[in-house]
């Protein structure tokens, strides 16, 4: 019997050897590659005799020498050793720990080229996953609705890549701490599929070309400022117009929230971001995409904690006190909130800690504690209390004021949020007479923006605390034409319909996993004239648009917005008409 088991194991090993035999490369081989595209994670894509290798740090248009690290049946991974021919879009990363930190992925790429690549990423997903027709819109002079035949030189797509992408797809991208993923540096939470209990939503590794040269005119022209024609142009022409990505004039120091994991080194507190592909904390004092005041608060908290002998939480043992330091900065008002996430309620020397923070950091008006004693990679626990000051800080998006609590989800790039929401209002086509449903309303940010231009807005969100914040924000702004309700959109919206609510426009702003299939069915049953989709994930966006198109809607226009410069993330606003 033992011999039989041994034979079966040997047979499995032989079978595996047969599957991987005959590859043009082996582990530790050094190869020279032409980089023909880039995945949605920022890896360069090259081929050796038709075999695909992913190379971290390589850009489209480059020739590189690389060392093969790992091989699978259809693809492998390689380490960049030398730039044989560099892309015109390559720049020197200004961050001193860029090669170690996993927060940014594109600091080695010129900003104008990033904007062009992000647009192409959206286009590729619409075409390959959504099977949608994209028309030429003049951004790069190529008819984007036409694809090169499979295997044509310079094209990273084709039938071979469809099989490759299907093999590499990731199921169930989880939302961090129950919030919509916002392009954060992936610092606080391990990437664990399904960690928050989300149902499986397909997320495919996208391979995109076309980022090897900057768009004419630099970032401003690449961002498409002043170039947009009226929505509806694509509807008349029969295809989808994907606009040039709206970028930032100053794409640094844009983040209003820092979430920093805390660890220990040489007996003292360290805090920063996780090293790329690991859970090892890289200590740092400054982050070039964070507001400078966020850096100052984190640095002060770490130093004061060291002086007071505060211990860091240890993931392996479950012991130690300080798990995370979270800082929120209101750009318009200047107010700041500090949240200490602790493994237990008792904080040694808490009065001295608070006193030192108040003395050094005059902009901090709120110091809170969140207690998380669970052995989990989720940041927040169930209890939050105020240690000193207010329980909220106040900020504005446009003319709308928001109260932001310790647990509130609030977009991290306020300048681009105003751009994103402005485009949402434009696509909604509001005249002041419409009824609008906001299907993932959060704390009411989009709902209240829409309420300035609509007759009535209904917002629904499954997180009770978010709805409490949304109602408070509506009251804060004196808005009487907004109704908020707790629950799943696919359950609440049919109840509204049964009560006689008829929506002219439905706005959806789902998490990375995309819309719940039942919500898409609800939209098709409710038949609003317009659907405005705000997306943070091009692959699930394309999947959902396909469902709505098959149900009788036409995708008119897509506007990518760069909410997170120097990262691979891209948001989009989409107009659909019935």
Full pLDDT tens readout for the chain, 578 residues: 444 444 444 444 433 433 445 899 999 999 999 999 999 999 999 999 999 999 999 999 999 999 999 999 999 999 999 999 999 999 999 999 998 888 899 999 999 999 999 999 999 999 999 999 998 655 444 434 333 322 332 334 443 344 345 444 432 333 333 344 343 333 322 222 222 333 323 333 445 654 433 333 333 333 333 334 455 444 555 789 999 999 999 999 999 999 999 998 876 899 988 877 778 888 888 999 999 999 999 999 999 999 999 999 998 899 999 999 999 999 999 999 999 999 999 999 999 999 999 999 999 999 999 999 999 889 999 999 999 999 999 999 999 999 999 988 889 999 999 999 999 999 999 999 999 999 999 999 999 999 999 999 999 999 998 999 999 999 999 999 999 999 999 999 999 999 999 999 999 999 999 999 999 999 999 999 999 999 999 999 999 999 999 999 999 999 999 999 999 999 999 999 99
Say how far apart CA 282 and CA 270 lie, in whole Å.
8
| pLDDT for res 274 | 83
100 is in an annotated binding site: no
Say how far apart CA 337 and CA 323 lie, in whole Å.
17
| pLDDT for res 267 | 66
User: What SS3 state is found at 459?
Assistant: strand
| pLDDT for res 282 | 85
Catalogue the long-range contacts made by 175-178 (C-beta closer than 8 Å, 24 or more residues apart). Answer: 175/511, 175/512, 175/513, 176/378, 176/379, 177/378, 177/379, 177/380, 178/463
Encoding tokens for residue 131? Answer: 């099977």
Strands 322-329, 30-39: parallel, antiparallel or unpaired by DSSP?
A: unpaired
CATH superfamily assigned to domain 24-90: Nucleic acid-binding proteins (2.40.50.140)
CATH superfamily assigned to domain 241-249+413-577: Vaccinia Virus protein VP39 (3.40.50.150)
Q: Which residue from 58, 419, 357, 38 is spatially nearest to 206, judged by alpha carbons?
A: 38
Catalytic residues: 536
Q: Which helix (H) or strand (E) holds 447?
A: helix 445-451
440 is in an annotated binding site: yes
**CATH top class, domain 257-397:** mainly beta
Say how far apart CA 439 and CA 559 lie, in whole Å.
20
Q: Are 122 and 536 in contact (CB under 8 A)?
A: no
Buried b (16+ CB within 10 A) or exposed e, 44-71: bbbbbeebbbbbbbbbbbbbbebbbeeb
Maximum Cα–Cα distance for the chain, whole Å?
79
In the chain, ranges of CATH 2.40.50.140 domains: 24-90
In the chain, ranges of CATH 3.40.50.150 domains: 241-249+413-577
Strands (E), 230-300: 240-242, 257-265, 268-274, 281-283
559 is in an annotated binding site: no
Q: Are 297 and 367 in contact (CB under 8 A)?
A: no
Residue whose tokens read 């809607």: 553
Q: How far apart are the first and last CA of the chain?
A: 66
Say how far apart CA 174 and CA 12 lie, in whole Å.
33
In the chain, ranges of CATH 2.40.50.1070 domains: 257-397
490 is in an annotated binding site: no
């Amino acid at each position: 019997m033992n011999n039989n088991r041994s034979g079966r194991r040997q047979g499995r090993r032989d079978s595996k050897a047969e599957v991987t035999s005959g590859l043009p490369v082996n582990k530790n081989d050094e190869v020279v590659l032409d980089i023909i595209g880039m995945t949605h994670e920022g890896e360069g894509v090259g081929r050796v005799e038709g075999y695909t290798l992913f190379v971290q740090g390589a850009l489209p248009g480059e020739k590189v020498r690389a060392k093969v690290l790992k091989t699978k049946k259809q693809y492998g991974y390689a380490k960049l050793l030398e730039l044989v021919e560099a892309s015109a879009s390559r720049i020197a990363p200004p961050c001193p720990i860029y090669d170690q930190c996993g927060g940014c992925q594109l600091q080695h790429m010129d900003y104008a080229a990033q904007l062009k690549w992000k647009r192409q990423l959206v286009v590729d997903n619409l075409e390959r996953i959504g099977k949608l027709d994209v028309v030429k819109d003049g951004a790069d002079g190529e008819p984007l609705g036409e694809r090169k035949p499979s295997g044509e030189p310079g094209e990273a797509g084709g039938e071979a890549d469809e099989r490759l992408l299907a093999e590499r797809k990731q199921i169930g991208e989880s939302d961090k701490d129950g919030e919509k993923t916002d392009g954060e540096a992936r610092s606080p939470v391990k990437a664990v599929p399904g960690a928050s209990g989300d149902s499986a939503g397909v997320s495919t590794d996208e391979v995109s070309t076309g980022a090897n040269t900057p768009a004419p005119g630099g970032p401003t022209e690449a961002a498409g400022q002043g170039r947009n024609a009226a929505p509806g142009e694509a509807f008349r022409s029969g295809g989808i117009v994907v606009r040039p990505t709206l970028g930032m004039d100053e794409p640094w120091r844009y983040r209003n929230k820092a979430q920093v994991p805390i660890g220990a080194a040489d007996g003292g507190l360290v805090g920063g971001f996780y090293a790329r592909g690991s859970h090892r904390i890289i200590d740092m004092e400054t982050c070039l995409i964070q507001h400078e005041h966020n850096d100052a608060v984190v640095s002060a908290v770490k130093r004061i904690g060291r002086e007071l002998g505060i211990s860091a939480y240890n993931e392996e043992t479950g012991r130690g006190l300080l798990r995370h330091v979270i800082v929120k900065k209101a750009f318009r008002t200047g107010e700041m909130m500090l949240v200490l996430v602790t493994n237990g309620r008792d904080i040694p020397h808490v009065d001295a800690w608070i006193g030192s923070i108040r003395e050094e950091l005059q902009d901090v008006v709120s110091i809170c504690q969140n207690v998380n004693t669970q052995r989990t990679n989720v940041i927040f626990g169930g209890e939050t209390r105020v240690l000193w000051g207010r329980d909220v800080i106040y900020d504005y998006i446009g003319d709308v004021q928001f109260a932001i609590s310790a647990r509130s989800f609030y977009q991290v790039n306020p300048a681009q949020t105003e751009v994103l929401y402005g485009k949402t209002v434009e696509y909604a086509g509001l005249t002041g007479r419409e009824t609008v449903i906001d299907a993932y309303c959060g704390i009411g940010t989009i709902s209240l923006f829409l309420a300035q231009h609509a007759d009535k807005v209904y917002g629904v969100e499954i997180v009770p605390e978010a709805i409490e914040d949304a109602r408070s924000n509506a009251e804060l702004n004196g808005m009487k034409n907004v109704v908020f309700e707790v629950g799943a959109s696919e359950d609440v919206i049919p109840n509204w319909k049964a009560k006689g609510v008829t929506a002219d426009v439905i706005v959806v702003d789902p998490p990375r996993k995309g819309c719940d299939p039942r919500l898409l069915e609800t939209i098709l049953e409710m038949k609003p004239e317009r659907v405005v989709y705000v997306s943070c994930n091009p692959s699930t966006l394309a999947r959902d648009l396909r469902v709505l198109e098959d149900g009788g809607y036409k995708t008119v226009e897509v506007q990518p917005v760069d909410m997170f410069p120097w990262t691979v993330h891209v948001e989009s606003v989409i107009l659909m008409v019935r």
